[in-house]
Structure 1
């Protein structure tokens, strides 16, 4: 009988130390704090002020909502490139219904939200049942939504009449609670809801399994196609809600405005997968990433940087985020393989110990 390997055996991988885990999980929030302190020292009269903080909370609410929407399909291993197009269509549609069709604003918002969920279902069906790569499928539906946006607006802007928009509608973005912009509370509530769903509920855990190993998910009975459609549906619904916020903010329908939010959304979602729960997309990590990006962009802007520094910043950060996300995922898999005495999983099929099974 072969003796079990000793704890000092060189063949056994070493576990990650607690200090290394802390640095990996909370390095990005620490970077945010460092950036805030640095810009405060460099710009003591303009950066560390209440106006700057309120501007951050208000202006970054829509990018944060979109980043959270992008996170959900990424959990399942897919990407939704229709986010920016969906945002543009939702924000012009709600203004079209209110301004030109005379709808009450609550009804217009509900119809637009339902339309966003329907677009999410279309994306999910195209990816899972049409077997089209998520990049291609969502880019195609996004182009279709951009065409619908141009058709609705006629290539021009939707401008409210002399009486403007209903005050209750614009208050969705402009109002304050305890001195804090209301959209900031909306973002926080959404992030907490997604965190609880993904980390604490069986639905969220199943979505992570689908994203990490679809074959294994099928073998244990998880309906991978249905869950992927759920993820795209939730993403489309959240994008539509972000479009409503954008309409309340701008109060003018601009058919091309949504595309500016696509890159920041993916940067926030991918960079967020390197924080809090490194190696896996998570809602709180996305929220932290959006905050760090907002602090960096605000500080750069107050230093008087040129306009081209914004796309340069986002492009470079996207490359860095993808690299770090891949590295964190590899570290996570290595750490899982390093756990000693891990019991073998039970056979996936009950037929004479056959562990191959078949796809349900």
Structure 2
């Protein structure tokens, strides 16, 4: 007969299960809690259908951009050109429709394919020129901003008296099943990324590359190629987000894209602490964007000043990075009993103290 587990072992198991539950579903629970709190404080305005529709509509573009940023982050890379690319894409699609007279479907397709190409260029610069992704994408993003200024000559692109085609603006303004259509774009993109990252070899390769590039090369994964694919996928999503932004604003503003950069990274990094703690994942990003949307909508209705939004985003980013690092350390930390000693079937050296072992 096997010996009964000791009380310390049971406490250790209970603590691990509790920590796993909090790490996986804690942010989702926080979203529900925030919604309930704001609903109690603002019963006439917050828990209404109009407010929910407004949140879904206003946060759709940041959500799409955050999902695009999830792809290269899964491979351990950062794409700081997202905001610049978004600004260029939305200006370019309006330029093609308003100034060049292109049919709007062709203009949208061209911009999305252009986003794919720009993302692939980012990947090539990072992987084959061996430039750190922070520096490389900051440089290419600055070049995108220069192209945006060249196209607009520093001024806005304003449609003529007839305005933009109704079918084009309907990409953002339409409703489906009583909800804003962009919300369904976000859900569709989440499903696609979840399938790609969690169920297909492509996603598994990206996670291996992101966790240990050297091991990925040893087992035969073409790391350079898959990282280029990751940046190209991100660029495709950014191009699509630019089309939505153009349909929303209906005026080409050369500087608007940078406002979306910080919220996108806050969503991805905060999302990496939930659902699949320790790694960027589509469902986690969706939950993170939701809790940010609820929080911003609530403090906005409470009469917060204009500076509250960047303060909220910046503070949440710091918390997200801290939680992501803590989650990663917890995943790498070996199991111990309540006494702090490693279990009997684990060598003492694996316990990992300050002088060596797992971080």
- What's the TM-score, normalizing by structure 2? 0.90
The 5 A counterparts of 1:333-348 are: 333-334=332-333
**Equivalent residue for 1:28?**
27
For the residues of structure 2 that align with 1:175 and 1:156, how far apart are their CA atoms? Answer: 29
Are 2:139 and 1:144 equivalent residues in the alignment?
A: no
Secondary structure, counterpart of 2:333 in structure 1: helix
Deviations 1:271-319 (A, max 9, x none): 0000101111100000000000000000000000100111110110000
**Equivalent residue for 2:259?**
260
The 5 A counterparts of 1:89-108 are: 89-108=88-107
For the residues of structure 1 that align with 2:223 and 2:243, how far apart are their CA atoms? Answer: 31
**Equivalent residue for 1:194?**
193
**Equivalent residue for 1:228?**
227
**Equivalent residue for 2:129?**
130
**Equivalent residue for 1:294?**
293
The change in CA–CA distance for 1:92 and 1:220 in structure 2 (over 3 A counts) is: same
**Equivalent residue for 1:345?**
none
The change in CA–CA distance for 1:250 and 1:216 in structure 2 (over 3 A counts) is: same
The change in CA–CA distance for 1:335 and 1:40 in structure 2 (over 3 A counts) is: farther
Q: Which runs of 5+ in 2 are unaligned?
A: 337-341, 347-359
For the residues of structure 1 that align with 2:247 and 2:116, how far apart are their CA atoms? Answer: 20
**Equivalent residue for 2:352?**
none
**Equivalent residue for 1:17?**
16
For the residues of structure 1 that align with 2:70 and 2:231, how far apart are their CA atoms? Answer: 10
- Give 4+ residue runs of structure 1 displaced > 4 Å after superposition: 335-342
How much has 1:18 moved relative to structure 2?
2.4
**Equivalent residue for 2:59?**
60
Deviations 1:197-251 (A, max 9, x none): 1111111001000000000000110000000000000000100000000000000
The 5 A counterparts of 1:204-283 are: 204-283=203-282
**Equivalent residue for 1:284?**
283
Secondary structure, counterpart of 2:309 in structure 1: helix
**Equivalent residue for 2:42?**
43
**Equivalent residue for 1:311?**
310
The change in CA–CA distance for 1:339 and 1:78 in structure 2 (over 3 A counts) is: farther
How much has 1:17 moved relative to structure 2?
2.7
How much has 1:339 moved relative to structure 2?
11
**Equivalent residue for 2:319?**
320
Q: Which runs of 5+ in 1 are unaligned?
A: 1-5, 343-360
Q: How many equivalent residue pairs?
A: 335
Q: CA RMSD in A?
A: 2.1
For the residues of structure 2 that align with 1:300 and 1:106, how far apart are their CA atoms? Answer: 38
For the residues of structure 2 that align with 1:23 and 1:88, how far apart are their CA atoms? Answer: 37
For the residues of structure 2 that align with 1:325 and 1:51, how far apart are their CA atoms? Answer: 34
The change in CA–CA distance for 1:222 and 1:89 in structure 2 (over 3 A counts) is: same
For the residues of structure 2 that align with 1:266 and 1:340, how far apart are their CA atoms? Answer: 42
Deviations 1:113-164 (A, max 9, x none): 1110111011000111000000000000000000000000010000000111
The change in CA–CA distance for 1:119 and 1:339 in structure 2 (over 3 A counts) is: farther
The change in CA–CA distance for 1:166 and 1:178 in structure 2 (over 3 A counts) is: same
Deviations 1:54-98 (A, max 9, x none): 001101000000000111111111100000000000000000000
**Equivalent residue for 1:356?**
none
**Equivalent residue for 1:169?**
168
Secondary structure, counterpart of 1:17 in structure 2: helix
Deviations 1:4-56 (A, max 9, x none): xx987x9xxx6663222111100001001110000011111111111100001
The change in CA–CA distance for 1:212 and 1:340 in structure 2 (over 3 A counts) is: farther
